Amino acid sequence: MTIKRIGHRYSDAKTGATLDVWFPRSNKEVARNCLALKAGVIKGDFVTVEITSVDEAPTTAEEAYLRLHLLSECAYKPHTINLDGVFGLLANVAWTSAGPVLPSEVETLREAITDEPHTLTVTSIDKFPRMVDYVIPEGVRIADADRVRLGAHLAPGTTVMHEGFCNFNAGTLGNSMVEGRISAGVVIGENSDIGGGASIMGTLSGGGKQVISMGQRNLLGANAGLGISLGDDCIVESGLYITAGTKVKMPDGSIVSARELSGQSKLLFRRHSQTGQVQAIMTDGTLWSGLNSTLHSND
């Protein structure tokens, strides 16, 4: 299926480098305006981007931006659209309250708008902007917009609390409580809870190539960590970090590496309070009460 969208592009006035592209859902020519544009530090124009196959890697920054939009619009789930090479296509941008500029142009921008009633704020220097500046997903709550990157997939019913984080090409598939970190590539199933301070290994720096996922009705306890996938109805005790090589004692007394349990359902992972040994016991998932439905009615 061919995807064709009209976007508004900002580019550096000196070099012509693409800084960002916004694709309105209406697919109409809707222009943006900002002080950086008014000052002549950046330029704006319309661009039409066509993707003939989402299975092929993007070749331009404009196409990369469209793919990130499609993920955040929940038109595609994580890992169903090719993002190979996206880091090399995107410029490192200073995201400011006066518009996006190259980091080297921040001082130029500051001087150019001295007569404006505006205090320049730089929110980040990064290749990826905040999602909410480009896409507002339906039926979600995000307490701190700085912690969700464009390209995150947040399904309706998702609540991201102040310390929650979601990277691009990662996210939720249904009602979820996110108080911890969803790293790049990680997918969270419906009715799962990522506890405060919890972290899930991604596929970028420090992570491996194995994509980590959680099924439905899982609880990752506060300050816990996950380096294997979980099936459905699993619990990881607060403070317990499970890596692929963690040695786990099974109910029958055998010892296995956690990687052998990846993707299995109805397991409670806990650490023995006296011996420190990591154990896995069978559970039906009712040891925690599940999500509070009222908290995820985000209409």
Over residues 148-176, the pLDDT tens digits come to 999 999 999 999 999 999 999 999 999 99
* pLDDT(296) > 70: no
Over residues 12-44, the pLDDT tens digits come to 999 999 999 999 999 999 999 999 999 999 999
Cα distances (Å, whole numbers) of residue 293 to 122, 191, 297, 299: 37, 9, 7, 13
Q: What pLDDT is recorded for position 288?
A: 72
Average per-residue pLDDT for the chain: 94
Q: What is the pTM of this model?
A: 0.93
CA angle at residue 76 from 70 to 82, to 5 degrees?
80
* pLDDT(183) > 60: yes
* pLDDT(181) > 60: yes
User: Exposure string (b/e) for 215-237, b if CB count within 10 Å is 16 or more?
Assistant: bbbbbbbbbbbbbbbbbbbbbbb
Q: What pLDDT is recorded for position 289?
A: 67
Percent of the chain at pLDDT above 70? 96
Q: What kind and span of H or E run contains 158?
A: strand 158-160
Task: Evaluate whether 18 touches 91 at the Cβ level (below 8 Å).
Answer: yes
Over residues 47-92, the pLDDT tens digits come to 999 999 999 999 999 999 999 999 999 999 999 999 999 999 999 9
SS (H, E, C) 66-78: HHHHHHHCCCCCC
The pLDDT of 254-276, averaged and rounded, is 95
Quote the CA–CA distance of 265 and 216 in Å, as a whole number. Answer: 9
> Which 3 state secondary structure label does DSSP give 294?
helix
Over residues 195-238, the pLDDT tens digits come to 999 999 886 645 556 789 999 999 999 999 999 999 999 999 99
Quote the CA–CA distance of 74 and 137 in Å, as a whole number. Answer: 8
| Active site positions, annotated | 179
